[in-house]
Structure 1
Amino acid sequence: MLPDESIMSKILLIRGKRVMVDKDLAELYSVPTKRLNEQVKRNLKRFPEDFMFQLTTEEKEEVVAKCDHLKSLKFSANLPYVFTEHGAVMLASVLNSDRAIAVNIQIVRIFTRMREMILTHKDILLKLEQMEKRVSGHDEQIELVFEYLKQLLSSPQEPRVRIGFTRHDEAVE
């Protein structure tokens, strides 16, 4: 089995969806990318837009620039396909090999774990956002306090006349 980290590093955020590039999936399933895409094209009804979509030229360039392991896509004439979690599940049924099934189970577990992590950390993010809203705007007030302190420290202090009772052993000014 593959380490979870190696699979997680291949999950990208494109168009607001967590996806995996066809080249990475083909590598994980131990099939050539060309064969993977042939199977997809033969079973196109199984891959609606929310399961799979093709990258635009700009998206491809951005992916190549961000991901070192995808540098070889730079010279490819074809625009890569990307697959959502559901698309990866469908790929395993189309490829129908023991390796594809095993890797697919691992991919689904990782996507599920990522979703759970996002949901649990969402509460923390909301609390941080609330604290940030509460604290924002205080910068000016803090600066004002420091300005007053500087004025107090920098202004010459005149000796103050002591008021009140004096003891008989004290000199009166």
Structure 2
Amino acid sequence: MTQFLLRILDILLAAIGLVVTSPILFVLMIIGFLDTGSPLFRQERVGKNQIPFILVKFRTMNVDTASVASHLASSSSITKFGHFLRRTKLDELPQLWNVLKGEMSLVGPRPSLFNQQELVNERSKLGVLTFRPGITGLAQVNEIDMSTPYLLAETDKKMLDGMSVIAYFKYIFMTVAGKGSGDRVG
């Protein structure tokens, strides 16, 4: 029942979020276009049950940056506007579309790349990959990123084992309030 209720909350909150933030999304798209010529970043990620999906974010790095985990990318790849987007977490807003489509949840383990095999293996062993990936969660608010795969998988498992409607809103509010700094960049 909890999973069903959380999915209903995902749909409602993502739809409301997209409507309410649509003027902001529009402005960020224009600025992003002026910044890199390609405001949206699309990348294949590991979804629920290891089914691939295309994650959508605002682009924070130069267009020619290698498609690797953030902690492996060079910090010099981040644009000035990208720094702003990452600091404010506004780069994550387009993922509300992924939530609405059912590929993600607002709260869950951050979706990894398929080439992050150590993380995929650890999450698979712990059953984490049987859940929808999320925009935020326990690891994100505690600044645990994909550079520590075992710790991240353990933290994801702990979050999922204790997931409730109260925990769901707690992680969302902590993220909106600025807890956590997002993925570290090389």
TM-score by length of 2: 0.20
In terms of Rg, which structure is larger?
A: 1
| Alignment TM-score, normalising by the size of structure 1 | 0.21
Q: Tell me which protein shows more helix as a share of its residues.
A: 1
